[in-house]
């Protein structure tokens, strides 16, 4: 689609750029949502606020995130799929760290 731009004495036609934008290989999928409240998940470092890549699947605490909408603790199963963290998903190491309030 072309968009005409009028300037005094002439009309220019600009065409929008149609080349696809490349994303890094470790970039998270564009439409990840919380399975509880449906809020869009935007991964960021909790300390610096910088965007971060998708965490590895099944790696304990490093595979978890907290939804800022409803506060639910989620874990990454892989391919941008998130699920609610249940007690059955916790390992003995997770329970020990919870007792230490880590």
Tokens 């603790």, residue located: 73
Buried b (16+ CB within 10 A) or exposed e, 88-101: eeeeeebeeeeeee
Residue found under tokens 């998940």: 41
pTM beyond 0.85: the answer is no
Q: Using a CB cutoff of 8 Å and minimum separation of 24, what contacts does 3-12 make?
A: none
Count of residues in the chain: 102
Alpha helices by DSSP H, listed for 8-91, are none
Q: What are the structural domain ranges in the chain?
A: 21-99
pLDDT at 18: 60
pLDDT of the chain, 102 residues: tens digit per residue: 555 555 555 555 555 556 555 555 555 556 788 999 989 888 887 788 888 888 888 777 778 888 888 989 888 888 888 889 888 878 888 788 778 865
């Amino acid at each position: 689609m072309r968009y005409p731009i009028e300037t005094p004495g002439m009309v220019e036609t600009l065409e929008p750029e149609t080349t696809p934008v490349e994303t890094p290989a470790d970039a998270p999928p564009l439409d990840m949502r919380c399975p509880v409240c449906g809020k869009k998940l935007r991964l960021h470092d909790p300390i610096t606020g910088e965007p971060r890549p998708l965490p590895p699947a099944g790696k304990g605490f490093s595979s978890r995130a907290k939804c800022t909408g409803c506060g639910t603790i989620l874990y990454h199963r892989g391919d941008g799929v998130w699920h609610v963290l249940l007690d059955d998903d916790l390992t003995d190491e997770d329970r020990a760290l919870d007792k230490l309030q880590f």
